[in-house]
Amino acid sequence: LLAGNAVVFKPSEKTPATGEFLVSCLREGGVPEGCIRLLIGGPAEGKALAGHPDIDGLLFTGSARTGIALNRAFADKPEKILALEMGGNNPIVVWDSPDLQSAAVLIVQSAFTSAGQRCTAARRLIVDERLFQPLMAELTKLLDRMIVGDPHADPQPFMGPVIDNEAADLLTESFVTLMSRGGRPLRHMQRPQEDRPFLTAGMIDVTEMNDRPDIELFGPILQVIRTASFEDAIVEANNTRYGLAASLVSQNPALYDQFWANARAGIVNWNKPTNGASSSAPFGGIGWSGNHRPSAYYAADYCAYPVVSSEADQARALINIGLRDL
């Protein structure tokens, strides 16, 4: 819209009311009705919109599988803009940090805000094995106090539900699968009500697991990996096809310089959570997290195309070489 485009906005079929509310806010703010249209529907409607011959581009936020399918579909359409934001398997690294209470808070904020349903949520905690036990003790204190409930509950909860019962079923099965493949539960994820999609925060040590699955578990599951050296921690942080967000919790600026220079991610934070980002900065990642078209601040640039013009107020031209004399 900022770049002068008209937009057809299709929210997820699981959040139609949120999409309708956003469009109503834009119209109330003065955006003409013809410049922003709302399409409610599921995969069939999304596929039809993506394949429509009259769109100039597509900005997609969603799963890596769908994003890769769109990338293939647009392979023979170089004239159309395609911007993909496909989530992440994001690491938060704790190293050389004397304030483990603050480190635990940053981990909880990264992994369990919005019940872990953010593309930038921390999925993997990578920790110096010497800090593992005391850090787990601090995390346990916080998780013991964490309230899970509906938005209007009193006292106010830290975590609400995951999106639906189907997602809750999948996450529960995923936690069991991690255990069956060698993961050691540090805190079992529980479902207080079988017919509701509320889950408690789960943590599992996957250090000894062979062939850890490189997937985005979109919910409150945190996988923990212990390493003996900071170099190994960076290797583990980059051990993913994704590349959206990464954070380092450390009091050592030299370690952050090393981390920033070597982390494969579009968002690299220091003593901050993995999630949360300013719209005044670019937002996006690499690998299975994006296709080098970060959203937020940069989106207005790639939603237009540059035009170069060489101009003069009067036509004046001479050819001095290569012509026969009159």
Assign residue 54 a region (left: φ > 0; alpha: ψ between -120 and 50; beta: otherwise). alpha
Q: Please, which residues have CB within 8 angstroms of residue 34's CB and are 6 or more apart in sequence?
A: 6
At residue 75, the pLDDT reads 95
Short-list 238, 271, 236, 276, CA closest to 256 = 271
Q: Which domains does the chain have, with CATH numbers?
A: 7-86+290-302 (3.40.605.10), 90-270 (3.40.309.10)
Q: What is the pLDDT of residues 181-204, one digit of tens each?
A: 999 999 999 999 999 999 999 999
Q: What is the pLDDT along the chain (326 residues), one digit of tens a residue?
A: 989 999 999 999 999 999 999 999 999 999 999 999 999 999 999 999 999 999 999 999 999 999 999 999 999 999 999 999 999 999 999 999 999 999 999 999 999 999 999 999 999 999 999 999 999 999 999 999 999 999 899 999 999 999 999 999 999 999 999 999 999 999 999 999 999 999 999 999 999 998 899 999 999 999 999 999 999 999 999 999 999 999 999 999 999 999 999 999 999 999 999 998 888 899 999 999 999 999 988 898 899 888 999 999 999 999 999 999 88
Short-list 233, 231, 243, 239, CA closest to 288 = 243
Q: Retrieve residue 253's tokens.
A: 């600026």
Q: In what side-by-side order are the strands of the sheet with 202-205?
A: 184-187, 202-205, 221-227, 122-128, 90-94, 245-249, 267-270
At residue 153, the pLDDT reads 93
Q: What is the pLDDT of residues 39-55, one digit of tens each?
A: 999 999 999 999 999 99
CA distance 156 to 198: 15
Q: 268 in helix, strand or coil?
A: strand
Residues annotated as catalytic are 85, 119
Short-list 116, 115, 185, 106, CA closest to 139 = 106
Task: Provide the CA 190 distance to its chain's centre, in angstroms.
Answer: 25
At residue 202, the pLDDT reads 98
